[in-house]
Structure 1
Amino acid sequence: MTRELKILRYGLILAPAVISIYIYDIDYDYFTLHILLLLLIAALGLRLPKPLILPAAVLELLFTSWLCYRYGALLIFPAIAAMLHYTRLKPRFLSVLLVLVHIAVLNAAFIHSPPQVIAYMNVTFLLAAALNELLYRTGRGREDTLFLYDELRKKHFELEEARNRLQQFTSQVENAAQAEERVRIARQLHDDIGHRLIRVKMMAEAAVHTLPVAPDAGMIMMGQIRDQLAASMDDMRAAVKKINYTPQLEGAYALDRLLEETGRDTGVQTMYNVQGLPYPLYPSLQIVLYKNAREAITNALRHGKATAVSISLTYSHHEICMEVGNNGNVPDGVQLNRLQSSGGMGLQGMYERTRLVGGSLALQADPGFCVITRLPVYRQGEIH
């Protein structure tokens, strides 16, 4: 029983008792003793062992009915207080049975009272029983909601833990694959390039002795040495490129690589900046950031005639913000409003992708043109 329900229960006992002292002509000493006994029964009923709860409830039921018979109809409210207690007992049919028994005992207690008093007693008790039932169902609904919330929070933590384990496993698999690839490349360097360099050394020694006596044959050998060195350099570049693997920042989804490729292919200046402490992002957020950045850079080069582009990524507790700026042509106020309301297919796609994950997209023209993508992030520990 909740604290509020206990206060209501004791109030239904004490308030009518105080009023009865001023209304009825009764023996105050015995009346006070009876009320104290009722309070004792009510208090003990909440602390007794489980097998004794039902007998205590039946005793309170009978005692409150006797009080109505002994002192008057106003003491129907202590009977209602008893009902608030035994209707919380389980199984549910037992509380319904006790309500019916209580009504029968109360009618027996008021059998010699005027019909108006009997009607008042029955209507009051039944209305109180109906309100109590609504209160009980509301409490059960709240308990079920809290239970479901706890279960949802538990599942959330389990899902977050499984996600972290999956990321760790993925990282381990990736590291293992990289280690295996490095071993393979090292073997390739030793077997292929190493042997080729040994062959080139032997050919160079032969060319040194051949050139003075047979310049034409020596030049042919020098050409072969050049081709062998060129092939070795190509193999070396490919191997170094595979070895020189630097993992991207979590959540950036290769944005720095996107800028690197853009600068290499177009010749524009690029700048990449990360603020805050990076943390893992869901793949859906990574894809939205990457595609929005690529579309914004494409528009900057195609429509803005930009010669420099930049990406700034800001990690905060509840969101990640990406700003893609450029030094190209800045639209005026009318053009900016038109872009925000009815941009091209690329801009509309950016809006739709961003809204799909609960984020927002904004265009800024001061000091330079900038596309701002804000995405909410949900991390472990936010549900309490």
Structure 2
Amino acid sequence: MDKLEVMDRLQRLSIEQDKLTRKLIDGEQRFRALARSVWSVQEEERKRLARELHDGIGQTLTALKLRLATMEASPEKTEALEITEIALSEARQLARLLRPAVLDDLGLAHALEWLCQLIQDQAEIQVSLRISGLEERLPPDMETLLFRLAQEALTNAQKHSRASIIDIRLTCTDQRVTLCIADNGIGFDVDQACASERDGFGLRSMRDRVELFSGDFSIKSSRNSGTDIFVNLGR
């Protein structure tokens, strides 16, 4: 086999490699598009269920509450009103957790403010929110993604970190959107948590969702040193 033949074979192999690489890239892009579609459908279903809870069950319970209020006073009436009030509050809370209307109606900034206040009221954690460069609303899918990431990070911190302070920063430029969430909790071993089927699922889910948007996701944490979560998305 002479030199020209070797070069020719190498060139053919390079062309075939390029074709295979392109097929892999195309397949990955189609997979991401499909996964994003599935995720969007799930969010739409959340929105529908939240609306049904608020407009359906919520209004029915409200009507029941008003009807009870017109009845003569009795211990049974008082008990029924208390039960109805609890059920109504829980239905509204569940609807907001499924898909807060403020996210669709007013946008990401107001939704994050609501979420921070909710965590502060529930867990007595000091949550600070700083938003810069957000002059207009982001695309709906991106707003939903960033809200869900913040929601999961705050919920995890509330349940596991023993943090007393959580700091959220959302920074927007013409090219990038950056979300940083830091707490002063007990921290954890990131590698060990990611390897765990139980503890690592949430972290992998967050990372996977960011990768669907071709973004960057990273976590910095260690025992007794808090946790920092970083998300970078292109606009």
TM-score normalised over the length of structure 1: 0.31
Higher strand share: 2
Higher helix share: 1
Bigger radius of gyration among the two: 1
